[in-house]
Structure 1
Amino acid sequence: MQHKMYYNLSTLSQMDIYLFKQGSYTKMYEKFGAHPMTHKGKKGVHFAVWAPNAKSVCVRGDFNDYKIDAHPLQLRSDDSGIWEGFIEDIAIGLTYKYHIVSLFHNIVHEKSDPFAFYSEVAPKSASRIYELDNYKWNDKKWMEKRYKNNACDSPISVYEMHVGSWRRNPLEDNRYLTYKELALELVPYLKEMNYTHVEFMPLSEYPYFGSWGYQVVGYFSATSRFGEPEDLMYLIEELHKNDIGVIMDWVPSHFAVDMHGLINFDGTALYEHDDPRQGFHPEWGSIIFNYGRNEVKSFLISSAMFWLDKYHVDGIRVDAVASMLHLDYAREEGDWIPNKDGGNKNLEAVAFLQKLNESVYKEFPDIMMIAEESTAWPMVTGRTSDGGLGFGFKWNMGWMHDTLKYMSYDPIYRQHHHSQLTFSLWYAFDEHFMLPLSHDEVVHMKGSLINKMPGDEAHKFANLRVMYAYMLSHPGKKLLFMGGEMAQYSEWHYQGSLDWHMLENPYHSKLQKMLSDLNLIYKNQKALHQYDEKQIGFEWIDNGDYQHNCISYIRKSDNEEDNIYVLCNFSDAQRSQYKLGVPYDGEYEEIFNSQSSYYAGSNDGNYGKLTAKKEQMHNKEYSLELTLPALGVIYLKRVAEAKTQKASKK
């Protein structure tokens, strides 16, 4: 069959071209790439690709036996650099590539479509013609209320996971699960664990499985390793129907060097910088986007918008923001080019990130934009109108590093490192923080979380329970990488499954149970999440008891009667008759104890109600005398009867 070519059809308006060149075309995926449509009663596909430095661009595919010159595209008469054409009678699902001859040196490039919605399964690299709008979403209930679930005053506890290694099928050559299989297994697991959100490591198409998805070639294509686009939509929909939000890891900081991707796309550094001091990432061996090129800004903003629009993603975690902001990131002196002011700030990347956040929040004000930013860059979550970057949340890498370092010490030495516990509260409210214990902490010989803890098996688990209970009560939203919830001993590896068999051991299964209970407490107790980003939500009771490795504080809500009193004992000695200052009289009860026997702990603690005495302590009018278990965290709450009595006295 001959597939006729038409050139008198363009889906791009002059306004589209103008916005594209201004860096403000935020939905390029609607018209760029391959779009099935009808022209003069004939069904076919319209192709549009940006290649301003190409001498010729032809579409090769299944429909023309991959002949080089059977279907050449035509360069628009304006100066946009866009090539277009309409080809009749092309079926959905067929593969294709662009055959690009460079204008300057006649070198041929075989490229995947940067705007493809679907791709061949790697290591194959052709794009597939596909439609996304046929999927009928059934998550209206979630979408109408997600602004509440993503808000700063809501509980947000995130389960970070790598789709290809969460669980595998041992009966079928240990293959990874498909998107649809995940919907059957992951959704009930997250519900059981009481997580509010799941964060998927990158699912944009990528060539090398060992990159975990961080070396991207298809910024509009869900990886075909786990199924078709509709299968991923189904997974997201099922999560939404079960009140679980979805965050997508997204990588605008660099892209893969694979030659079928964006690199040297039309024979020139089109998406990247030509100078390797700006365009090559020495740490990851990848290519850095040129954020100063308006067309690249349009491309990247459109990619973020695409996942929010077409896949109903509820949040985007932006990878490696620090590497974008600093021109000298991972570079030695002389290996980077200063900005126009002579400094190391990437001013073009700053402007891009601000425009990105302004654009997506304008279109989707109820989503989350989350920055992985590891430096002290100011106002990452500040408003762009005030000079901030405009993110909704920032990973608190300082808290993570300090906490893991502190927990690695034997308790006998912790008194000398007490400030590593307390320092985070000096800056905890400077940004809207998320506390991450992410995949980065359990790879590359860093050891698993349980193996970072000192002592024998019982002490390791007690320490890990302490750290989790401390984390869930510390200001900031929460994130834990898969495997951490059951104390997997081995480091995470992308080629295998989590060690689910470990749940046969009570230490592991009971730790998992504790995480589930902690998530539920965190969700149900407003004081633990309402003011995560505000100073009024936190008050120290005692941050100076370094000799005993103890800290205590109050988490507050807009109703003081709901306050939670948190006591953390990071020593391996029990504190009997421990005194804690409290602001009110009446009775208090222990609502959580990390050393409970339910969690394979020592079962030391406080049973029954604790009655406050009229005795000043910690600058409070009343005090409690209690048992603070070794390597234990307890949460206290004033009991309902006491609240009623206090109200009647008023």
Structure 2
Amino acid sequence: MANAAAIGLSLRDLYLFNKGNLFHSYRTFGAHPIRLGDETGVRFTVWAPNAKRVRIVGSFNDWNGYQHEMELIGETGVWSLFVPSIGPGTVYKYEIQTPDGALLLKSDPYAFQSELRPSTASVVAEVFHFNWNDGDWHQRKLEDSPYHEAMLTYEVHLGSWRNRGKELFWTYDEMAGALVDYVAEMGYTHIELLPITEHPLDQSWGYQATGYYAPTSRYGTPEQLMHLVDRCHQRGIGVILDWVPGHFCKDDHGLRLFDGTPIFEGKNWKLAEKPLWGTLAFDFSCTEVQSFLISNAIYWMDVFHIDGLRVDAVASMIDLHFDKPPELYTYNAFGGTENTDAIRFLKRLNETVFQYFPDALMIAEDSSSWPAVTSPTYMGGLGFNFKWNMGWMNDMLRYMALDPNDRMRHHNLITFSLVYAFSENFVLPLSHDEVVHGKRSLLNKMSGTYEQKFAQLRLFYGYWMTHPGKKLLFMGGEWGQFDEWKDAEALDWQLLDYQAHGSMHHYVKTLNHIYSAQPSLWERDCDPGGFEWIDVHNAAQSVIVFMRRGHATDEFMIVVCNFSYHHYSDYRIGVPESGEYRIALHSEAATFGGVLTDIPEVLYSKPTPWHGRPCSISLELPPLSIQLLVVAKGSLDRNDRFTT
């Protein structure tokens, strides 16, 4: 048995790990360059409770671990060894002898860096001493509440935002220049990265991982990723990581049967199997797995300064029958289909993250109807602070695909979301999931002719931006990418040379900046008082009118949407007060690809009651259009008015 103290390990930390309470376990496990006495080297530590023997093999010993056999520390199931005279850059694996005598070669579950696929070994890396320059960003986060701030997220797959050809990826460093500058110029407040944890198959987009602590080597080193995050923060952009705690891939070098037995996936194979994805679920009842996963969430925020996690596939975690055939059905102790272990894990995860990072973003990608996902755990909730609004997304994409002549019979698709809009703290996602696998691009989902598709997309984006909830758009949507997302190719940047797509790009950029400049569009996203219907029942004309309010009494915006093919030359809407109103944005302005070159500077209210309001305005409604109106005394100055 090893002397833990002699190699710089704490028995208390290992006890906490075994109990599921070591939330910085990455400082104990994995490969750590250290100094012991007069020697420098690397301390390797791994959990393999059922192994007969564990050795370290790698480039430093010609992959023969005879002289580098690890020592078991007490009854912890943890093995460790200090190897002198090696350091960062050392390539290694664990050679594990299973209970039945077989030998396995396994990557380190806590590896901070991995070889570039198809190679699968781990790489010793120093990740704890990066020179950060984002202090101002973190101070600002402490002073702001995410519920009352703008959140306009650009979702990015780094391998296909730009590249030089098949498998010729840009590096994290290159992205720290071009991508960050582009996102800042476009007016986005956050970047969300598709999973960048190490994964063997490009086509999985990172959702089937083998290295939870290793940023994928496809794009460079851990230090280069830190540079990307640091540059984002210096430009005022938050970084969200798509995180996948629900399941892992079955590749032999990964977590599956790690020591010859199912320690990460658990013994119940019916519970572990994810047949739809060909993966294995984590055993959320296992305390060591809890330490591993919760530490991983903390790791990305602590070591890489990630601002938040979008937690993937929550519905698949909490439902024992999710996408499973009957022969794999299991039930909890009460006879139900809720995964009570996963539910307890998610609550504990969120409690722990917010204990260490109170300003973190924990966003649930949850397609279920599970209640109180964004309520605190002490109130019975899961403890996230935001949730993707999948219902809104599905209803609106279905509505926009309809022929406008049929929309009067489906008016509820655009109004129903307001029945539950404040039941959770929502993000309105237009994500990668909606533009792959035959679903068509957002532009190509719109009905009508080529020109009408663009008009409809402008209308849809305007409604999306003004509907309560934070926002997320997948890359390429900002100029109306016509083809589906192709993960092995770069986005179709050449489309910006075409007038229709260039105009759409200009429209989205303008819309983004108006959003950021107007507190009424985000200050009260989670407050029913931030939204008022003005005209909700006009199904016959497919017109809706509503108002967004900020904290200040004179801070509001009126939104007028015409989802029909019809032109209404004298459409009257009620307004809350008399005065001059300006059109802050008109989707049919010629500069955005529309048909209007002469848009009035000012609209004057009249003391004619309408829609239950004391005053009203008459305005022209072109077909398939949206207009945003602000009181002339509002916060937009003349330079912020983008209509012609």
TM-score normalised to the size of structure 2?
A: 0.97
What SS does the aligned partner of 1:496 have?
Answer: coil
8 A Cα contact 1:463 1:631, kept in partner: yes
1:183-215 superposed Cα distances (whole Å, 9 cap, x missing partner) = 121111111110000000000111111100000
Q: 1:89 aligns with which of 85, 105, 122?
A: 85
Q: 1:345 aligns with which of 326, 338, 343?
A: 338
1:487-516 superposed Cα distances (whole Å, 9 cap, x missing partner) = 111111110000000001111011111111
Q: Which residue of 2 aligns with 1:41?
A: 38
The AA in structure 2 aligned to 1:160 is E
1:641 CA displacement: 8.8
Q: Which residue of 2 aligns with 1:319?
A: 312
Q: Which residue of 2 aligns with 1:481?
A: 474
Structure 2 spans left out of the alignment, 5+ residues: 637-644
In the alignment, the residues of structure 1 paired with residue 539 and residue 140 of structure 2 have an alpha-carbon distance, to the nearest angstrom, of 44
Q: Which residue of 2 aligns with 1:431?
A: 424
Q: Which residue of 1 aligns with 2:347?
A: 354
Q: 2:56 aligns with which of 59, 80, 85?
A: 59
1:273-328 superposed Cα distances (whole Å, 9 cap, x missing partner) = 22331001011110100000011000000011100000000111101010001001
What SS does the aligned partner of 1:567 have?
Answer: strand
1:14-60 superposed Cα distances (whole Å, 9 cap, x missing partner) = 32123212211111000101111111210011111000000000000
What SS does the aligned partner of 2:247 have?
Answer: coil
1:321-349 superposed Cα distances (whole Å, 9 cap, x missing partner) = 10001001002334211000000100000
8 A Cα contact 1:9 1:85, kept in partner: no
Q: Runs in 1 of length 4+ with deviation above 4 angstroms? A: 5-8
Q: 2:451 aligns with which of 449, 458, 469?
A: 458
The AA in structure 2 aligned to 1:60 is V
Q: 2:263 aligns with which of 260, 270, 290?
A: 270
Alignment of 1:191-590 (within 5 A): 191-590=184-583
The AA in structure 2 aligned to 1:475 is P
In the alignment, the residues of structure 1 paired with residue 238 and residue 298 of structure 2 have an alpha-carbon distance, to the nearest angstrom, of 17
Q: Which residue of 2 aligns with 1:15?
A: 12
Q: Which residue of 1 aligns with 2:639?
A: none
What SS does the aligned partner of 1:471 have?
Answer: helix
1:581-631 superposed Cα distances (whole Å, 9 cap, x missing partner) = 112111111111111111011217850211111111111111111112210
What SS does the aligned partner of 1:119 have?
Answer: coil
In the alignment, the residues of structure 2 paired with residue 232 and residue 641 of structure 1 have an alpha-carbon distance, to the nearest angstrom, of 41
1:98 aligns with 2:94: yes
1:13 CA displacement: 2.0
In the alignment, the residues of structure 2 paired with residue 641 and residue 370 of structure 1 have an alpha-carbon distance, to the nearest angstrom, of 33
Q: Which residue of 2 aligns with 1:648?
A: none
8 A Cα contact 2:167 2:488, kept in partner: no
1:135 aligns with 2:133: no
8 A Cα contact 1:586 1:642, kept in partner: no
In the alignment, the residues of structure 2 paired with residue 453 and residue 394 of structure 1 have an alpha-carbon distance, to the nearest angstrom, of 26
Q: Which residue of 1 aligns with 2:640?
A: none
In the alignment, the residues of structure 2 paired with residue 145 and residue 499 of structure 1 have an alpha-carbon distance, to the nearest angstrom, of 36
In the alignment, the residues of structure 1 paired with residue 349 and residue 101 of structure 2 have an alpha-carbon distance, to the nearest angstrom, of 36
1:599 aligns with 2:596: no
In the alignment, the residues of structure 2 paired with residue 181 and residue 610 of structure 1 have an alpha-carbon distance, to the nearest angstrom, of 47
- The more displaced of 15-24 and 393-402 is 15-24
1:218-270 superposed Cα distances (whole Å, 9 cap, x missing partner) = 11101111011111111111111111110001100100110100000011100
8 A Cα contact 2:32 2:124, kept in partner: yes
1:76-125 superposed Cα distances (whole Å, 9 cap, x missing partner) = 12x2100111111113101000000112x112111000001011001100
8 A Cα contact 1:605 1:629, kept in partner: no
What SS does the aligned partner of 1:176 have?
Answer: coil
In the alignment, the residues of structure 1 paired with residue 79 and residue 553 of structure 2 have an alpha-carbon distance, to the nearest angstrom, of 64
Cα 1:641–1:94 change in 2 (3 A) is closer
1:127-176 superposed Cα distances (whole Å, 9 cap, x missing partner) = 01111123111111111112456611000000001000001125xx7722
In the alignment, the residues of structure 1 paired with residue 494 and residue 144 of structure 2 have an alpha-carbon distance, to the nearest angstrom, of 33
1:445-474 superposed Cα distances (whole Å, 9 cap, x missing partner) = 111111101111110000000000000000
What SS does the aligned partner of 1:255 have?
Answer: strand
The AA in structure 2 aligned to 1:390 is G
In the alignment, the residues of structure 1 paired with residue 314 and residue 363 of structure 2 have an alpha-carbon distance, to the nearest angstrom, of 10
8 A Cα contact 2:3 2:73, kept in partner: no
1:515-560 superposed Cα distances (whole Å, 9 cap, x missing partner) = 1111111111110000001100000001100011111101001112
In the alignment, the residues of structure 2 paired with residue 408 and residue 330 of structure 1 have an alpha-carbon distance, to the nearest angstrom, of 27
8 A Cα contact 2:4 2:11, kept in partner: no
What SS does the aligned partner of 2:246 have?
Answer: coil
- The more displaced of 178-187 and 458-467 is 178-187
Q: Which residue of 1 aligns with 2:105?
A: 110
In the alignment, the residues of structure 1 paired with residue 4 and residue 279 of structure 2 have an alpha-carbon distance, to the nearest angstrom, of 36
8 A Cα contact 1:604 1:627, kept in partner: no
Cα 1:314–1:150 change in 2 (3 A) is farther
Q: 1:29 aligns with which of 26, 29, 35?
A: 26
1:392-439 superposed Cα distances (whole Å, 9 cap, x missing partner) = 100000000000000000100111111000000000000000000000
Q: Which residue of 1 aligns with 2:147?
A: 152
Q: Which residue of 1 aligns with 2:613?
A: 620
Q: Which residue of 2 aligns with 1:126?
A: 121
In the alignment, the residues of structure 2 paired with residue 188 and residue 222 of structure 1 have an alpha-carbon distance, to the nearest angstrom, of 22
The AA in structure 1 aligned to 2:359 is D
Structure 1 spans left out of the alignment, 5+ residues: 644-650
1:642 CA displacement: 13
Q: Which residue of 1 aligns with 2:76?
A: 80
8 A Cα contact 2:555 2:634, kept in partner: no
Cα 1:72–1:133 change in 2 (3 A) is same
8 A Cα contact 2:585 2:627, kept in partner: yes
What SS does the aligned partner of 2:540 have?
Answer: helix
8 A Cα contact 2:40 2:84, kept in partner: yes
The AA in structure 2 aligned to 1:9 is A
1:12 CA displacement: 3.0
In the alignment, the residues of structure 1 paired with residue 269 and residue 597 of structure 2 have an alpha-carbon distance, to the nearest angstrom, of 60
Q: Which residue of 2 aligns with 1:164?
A: 159
8 A Cα contact 1:605 1:628, kept in partner: no
In the alignment, the residues of structure 1 paired with residue 128 and residue 296 of structure 2 have an alpha-carbon distance, to the nearest angstrom, of 16
- The more displaced of 610-619 and 10-19 is 10-19
The AA in structure 2 aligned to 1:635 is L
In the alignment, the residues of structure 2 paired with residue 185 and residue 150 of structure 1 have an alpha-carbon distance, to the nearest angstrom, of 29
Q: How many residues align?
A: 635
8 A Cα contact 1:165 1:496, kept in partner: yes
